[in-house]
Amino acid sequence: MGLDKKIVLASGNKGKVREFVKMFTDLGLDIVPQTELGVGDVPETGTTFVENAIIKARYASQITGMPAIADDSGIEVDYLNGVPGIYSARYSTLNDSKDYGTGSIDENNNLKLLDALKDVDDDALRSARYQCILVYMRHAADPT
């Protein structure tokens, strides 16, 4: 069984929409952002990238009745036991009274991460990875 030709992207992020359209157009797939279908964001209540991607894809599929694609991604720093992880996009706003500047949220997230690693002199301890999980949900009841 092949993929449906029209798939809802569980995101309204313009940059992400552009990336997904570019990736999937050559496969003959029509990627439609959830915002074009009246679908809002769903709270990401999962504890892992996989859980959050499933939550987003299932919600978009449930509301639209269409198959859905969703992703969840972030940075995991080994010295920080995987932090910021699923909180990467809003890391600088979590549990911290320190002001990380008036830059963009991405700049502030980077500043907080560098601040957390400021006393780590050994570059080997600063190892990290970028995780990106992509989920395709054929329908809202698709098993996980």
Is residue 123 flagged as an active site residue?
Answer: no
Nearest 10 degrees: CA dihedral of 32, 35, 40, 46? 40
β-pair partners for 116: none
Q: Which of 30, 72, 96, 142 is catalytic?
A: 72
- Cα separation, 137 vs 66, whole angstroms: 9
Question: Which tokens belong to 105?
Answer: 């949220």
Q: How far apart are CA 9 and CA 69, in angstroms?
A: 5
User: Active-site residues: which are they?
Assistant: 72
